[in-house]
Amino acid sequence: MSKPESEFFPVTDAAYTVCPGGDSRITERILSRDPETGIATRILRYEAGADSTPQGVQKHDFWEEVYILEGSFTDLMLGETFTAGMYACRPPGMPHGPWRTDEGVVTFEVRYRA
């Protein structure tokens, strides 16, 4: 299976839900998801003060592209802060995070398998 076909719709029709890990300050709007693989396109939001340290360094078995729409966050492993207008393309297995933000951040993410 793959992500379902979808014509334009208001993104706000997709409610924010708490991300895996259970921190209520880290939420996502799933815009499209493959029900078999879980691969998704989403809006990710970290509220001010959110910290994903309990989830540790992340590695995925899929490609992930991320564009920061607003705000900023810091990759604690790299000690580097990334801001609105920046983009990342991560191949499967690339370590990243954990993340912390003082001001909050909103990203647009596309995940897929090659």
Is residue 22, in this structure, part of any structural domain at all? no
The rounded mean pLDDT for the chain is 94
The proportion of the chain whose per-residue pLDDT surpasses 90, expressed as a percent, equals: 87
- Supply the CATH number for residue 67's domain: 2.60.120.10
- The total number of structural domains in the chain stands at 1
Tell me if 92 is assigned to some domain. yes
Checking if the pLDDT of 20 tops 90, the result is no
Residue 46 lies in a domain: yes
Residue 60 lies in a domain: yes
Q: Does the pLDDT value for residue 1 go beyond 70?
A: no
Domain span holding position 32: 28-112
Between 76 and 5, the more confident residue is 76
- Residue 60: how many CB atoms within 10 A of its CB? 15
pLDDT of residue 113: 87
pLDDT in tens, 21-53: 889 999 999 999 998 888 999 999 999 999 999
Say what the pLDDT of residue 63 is: 95
Integer Rg of the chain from CA: 14
